[in-house]
């Protein structure tokens, strides 16, 4: 094949343009779907469980963002260690919502900020625990069924 396209008429060109455009749209849609499916696997952690788990970690005692990430990694035996790139924006949002309070170790140098759970944060943690308990339990049951079906 010479690489030269052979069109007999303007209609052939328009039909080919339409075919190529449809092919392009389908590929873009497939890429978006694949990207969304990849994100949704981790979104349960980042969007659903990370905020409540950060509140829980802070309920154990004041700490900084790096240490929060590390503590989650230790508690999950390395199976889930959120990046600090996800932790710090969450801490900022929790601080804005007055669920936590951050204090700099040195107000002038602002080297390290330690976060504390506020009274409002304790109440939010308890409310979220009540709301999410059945949802987490249902998710565990679904995962067990799928795991048993696939691997036993």
The per-residue pLDDT for range 99-116, each reduced to its tens digit, is: 999 998 877 777 789 999
Mean pLDDT, residues 6-35: 82
Q: In terms of residue numbers, what domain contains 81?
A: 46-151
Residue at 74 is within a domain: yes
pTM of the model: 0.66
4 or 71, which is more confident? 71
Q: Which tokens is 17 given?
A: 């343009």
Residue at 1 is within a domain: no
Mean pLDDT, residues 68-95: 92
Residue at 68 is within a domain: yes
pLDDT of the residue at 41:
46
Residue at 22 is within a domain: no
Residue at 25 is within a domain: no
Residue at 109 is within a domain: yes
Q: Alpha carbon of 6 to those of 9, 12, 23, 30, 125: distances in Å? A: 9, 9, 20, 30, 67
- CATH code (residue 111): 1.10.10.10
Residue at 111 is within a domain: yes
Number of compact structural domains in the chain: 1
């Amino acid at each position: 094949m010479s690489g030269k396209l052979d069109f007999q008429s303007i209609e052939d060109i328009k039909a080919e343009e339409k075919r190529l455009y449809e092919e392009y749209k389908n590929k873009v849609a497939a890429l978006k779907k694949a990207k969304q499916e990849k994100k949704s696997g981790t979104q349960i952690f980042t969007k659903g469980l990370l905020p409540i788990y950060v509140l829980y970690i802070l309920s154990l005692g004041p700490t900084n963002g790096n240490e929060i990430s590390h503590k989650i990694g230790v508690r999950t035996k390395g199976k889930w260690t959120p990046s600090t790139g996800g932790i710090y924006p969450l801490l900022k949002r929790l601080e804005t919502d007055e669920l936590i309070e951050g204090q700099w170790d040195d107000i002038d140098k602002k080297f390290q900020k330690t976060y504390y759970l506020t009274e409002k944060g304790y109440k939010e943690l308890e409310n979220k625990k009540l709301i999410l308990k059945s949802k987490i339990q249902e998710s565990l049951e679904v995962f067990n069924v799928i795991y048993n079906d696939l691997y036993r």
